[in-house]
Amino acid sequence: MLRLTQIKLPLDYNDAALKAAVIERLDIAPNELLDITVFRRGYDARKRSNIFFIFTLDIALKDEAGVTKRLKAAKNDANLGPTPDTTYKFVTHAPAGLTSRPIVIGTGPCGLLAGLLLAQMGFRPIILERGKAVRERTKDTWGLWRTGVLDPESNVQFGEGGAGTFSDGKLWSQIRDPQHHGRKVLEEFVKAGAPEEILFVSKPHIGTFRLVKMVEKMRATIHELGGEVRFGCKVEKIEIEQGEQGKSGGQVRGVVLADGEKIVADHVVLAIGHSARDTFAMLHEQGVYIEAKPFSIGFRIEHPQALIDRARFGPNAGNEMLGAADYKLVHHCANGRSAYSFCMCPGGQVVAATSEPGRVVTNGMSQYSRAERNANAALVVGVEPKDFPGDYKTNPLVGIDFQRHWESMAFAAGGGTYKAPAQRVGDFLAGRPSTQLGEVDPSYQPGVHMTDLSSCVPPYVIDCLREAIPAFDKQIRGFAMDDAILTGVETRTSSPIRITRNGECQSLNTRGLFPAGEGAGYAGGILSAAVDGINVAEALALSMVQKAAKPTP
């Protein structure tokens, strides 16, 4: 087949128009066209009065070679070439008689895909999750949102599906993916019940309710293939056998669970997510090499979704094919830092995302329909290890202390409950506390406390956001509206540490330990975490096969 890019059509296009555009573009007779498959459909909304779709298509023709040769000779056409092979190919399979089993810690997108791939290759992984199965976990999460009762082991951060379960389910990423592992992820999601459109729309998403069913289906598939998923199994210790005196590093020999059970294993995937602070501390105490890394901190901002639709789509606002409008904004501030929007959730809500008592953390989510009244996004500012308290070179966990401090300040500013501190944008820009709401009704559950947010983040973050919001208003008219709502505090944008690994995806100083996903500092979203799970599973599988092939001394 041939890959044809940059086919542009109006919003009211139909299949006949798409076919006609291909025939005209390739200068062929209608009977030469055998089939059209939409590989990607995006849109260009830079001119609100002239929004159009842009297609990437895979074309089957009677004479593909002839058409390619003719077009390239005439125009040296960069938008036409062979369709790349995106079919996933397993790097290996478990050898017959293999008795050892790998362990995967965590059932977020990274752990699930690592476990699924290992199961598909015949390695029968044991997958350990400290939290609960996704439906029980959902009840606990809603318990915090509706009644203010937090379960530290079952919440937005911990439990089957990971933090991405209670998010917009956004499935796009800017990672380099030369092996098309992202395609493998999307295809597995579709098999598990995701809408087929995620295979071709430019910004696919699923929504929380659908994610719950998908996660359950993927778990069932892992079990069918000989794997095992165990809940309520918090790993308290990694068993590490140290090398001979004078030799650095060690070798994983298994894990110890909170109830004292020991599971023997020489290969462990560490897919623990960005909020497993106690596990980070345990790894650091055991000598696993960890580095502090940058992340971002700020607030959630809410506007009426209709305002964002009008600003982005103009007269095309409300078009069913376009859906709810999103945005991506960045501003380089006078203080040398950058403010930017993150995890934008059209037609969604702001949610409580803490995993520790006495702290407030915000996040955003949408359902598949994206039909709620408000748009929300994180407005955050980058922070570096040098901003954290203490010496990050001797204590790489100081970023966690930084996060905890501001989450505790938000808890206090919210009135000492899990209500979040909030402020109208007009008051925030003017430097005065908010005492009442305006046009925008905040969606955060279990509710907000109107106040002054300046005590909830460092002063340089406040300065940066006060400069950035009016600048963003020039790109999205109404962004700085007085009644827009800021809710604090957003601290879990990414992991505050990196569990550094080598070229074989193993810890720098602990053989058999495979740090992966967001918690290890190697991903930043559902898709990138899932892709990293595949990368690490492949590396682990090859390591196990190589070890099994070595003769016993």
Lowest mean pLDDT among 102-116, 203-217, 221-235: 203-217
Q: Tell me what the mean pLDDT of segment 400-428 comes to.
A: 97
CB 1 within 8 A of CB 60: yes
Q: What is the pLDDT of residue 176?
A: 85
> Tens digit of pLDDT for each residue in 280-314?
999 999 999 999 999 999 999 999 999 999 999 99
Segments forming the whole domain that contains residue 22: 2-82
Asked whether residue 200 is domain-assigned, the answer is yes
Same structural domain, 409 and 475: yes
Rg, the chain, Cα only: 25
Same structural domain, 419 and 309: yes
Q: What is the pLDDT of residue 449?
A: 97
Residue 20 identity: A
Per-residue confidence band for 244, with pLDDT thresholds at 50, 70 and 90: low
Burial of 12 (0-12, 13-18, 19+ CB in 10 A): exposed
Q: What is the pLDDT of residue 367?
A: 85
Per-residue confidence band for 246, with pLDDT thresholds at 50, 70 and 90: very low
**Residue 50 token pair:** 């002239």
Same structural domain, 327 and 462: yes
Which is nearest to 272 in space by CA: 535, 22, 498, 73? 498
pLDDT at 245 over 60: no
Backbone angles phi, psi at 266, to 5 degrees: -100, -5
Asked whether residue 430 is domain-assigned, the answer is yes
Q: Provide the β-strand partners of residue 351.
A: 363, 445
Same structural domain, 469 and 405: yes
Same structural domain, 484 and 514: no
Asked whether residue 432 is domain-assigned, the answer is yes
Same structural domain, 219 and 320: no
CATH number, domain with residue 196: 3.50.50.60
Which is nearest to 125 in space by CA: 112, 115, 133? 115
CB 104 within 8 A of CB 126: yes
Q: Alpha-carbon torsion 37, 43, 44, 47, what sign? A: positive
Asked whether residue 495 is domain-assigned, the answer is no
Same structural domain, 351 and 400: yes
From 21, 47, 82, the end of a domain falls on 82
Same structural domain, 117 and 78: no
Burial of 257 (0-12, 13-18, 19+ CB in 10 A): middle
> Tens digit of pLDDT for each residue in 438-484?
999 999 998 999 999 999 999 999 999 999 999 999 999 999 999 99
387 vs 212 pLDDT, higher one: 387
Asked whether residue 249 is domain-assigned, the answer is no
Q: Tell me how many domains the chain contains.
A: 3
Same structural domain, 510 and 486: no
Asked whether residue 408 is domain-assigned, the answer is yes
**Residue 488 token pair:** 């604090």
* Mean predicted lDDT score pLDDT of the chain: 93
> Tens digit of pLDDT for each residue in 13-23?
999 999 999 99
Same structural domain, 34 and 173: no
CB 155 within 8 A of CB 138: no
Q: What is the pLDDT of residue 347?
A: 94
Same structural domain, 165 and 300: no
> Tens digit of pLDDT for each residue in 124-163?
999 999 999 999 999 999 899 998 999 999 999 999 999 8
Q: Tell me what the mean pLDDT of segment 477-503 comes to.
A: 97
Q: What is the DSSP string of 70-113?
A: HHHHHH--TTEEEPP------S--PPTT-----EEE--SHHHHH
From 448, 466, 490, the end of a domain falls on 490
Asked whether residue 324 is domain-assigned, the answer is yes
Burial of 452 (0-12, 13-18, 19+ CB in 10 A): middle
Same structural domain, 414 and 485: yes
The CA-atom distances, in angstroms, between 92 and each of 49, 334, 544 are 52, 52, 10
> Tens digit of pLDDT for each residue in 341-379?
999 999 999 999 999 999 999 999 988 888 899 999 999
Asked whether residue 420 is domain-assigned, the answer is yes
Distance CA 508, CA 474 (A): 46
pLDDT at 108 over 50: yes
Q: Tell me what the mean pLDDT of segment 22-43 comes to.
A: 94
Per-residue confidence band for 384, with pLDDT thresholds at 50, 70 and 90: very high
Cα 541 to chain centroid, rounded: 24
Q: What is the pLDDT of residue 77?
A: 77
Question: What pTM was computed for the model?
Answer: 0.93
245 vs 143 pLDDT, higher one: 143
From 444, 464, 490, the end of a domain falls on 490
Distance CA 99, CA 113 (A): 22
Q: What percent of the chain has pLDDT over 90?
A: 83
Distance CA 36, CA 157 (A): 42
Strand ranges, E, within 353-435: 362-365, 374-383, 420-424
Distance CA 450, CA 424 (A): 8
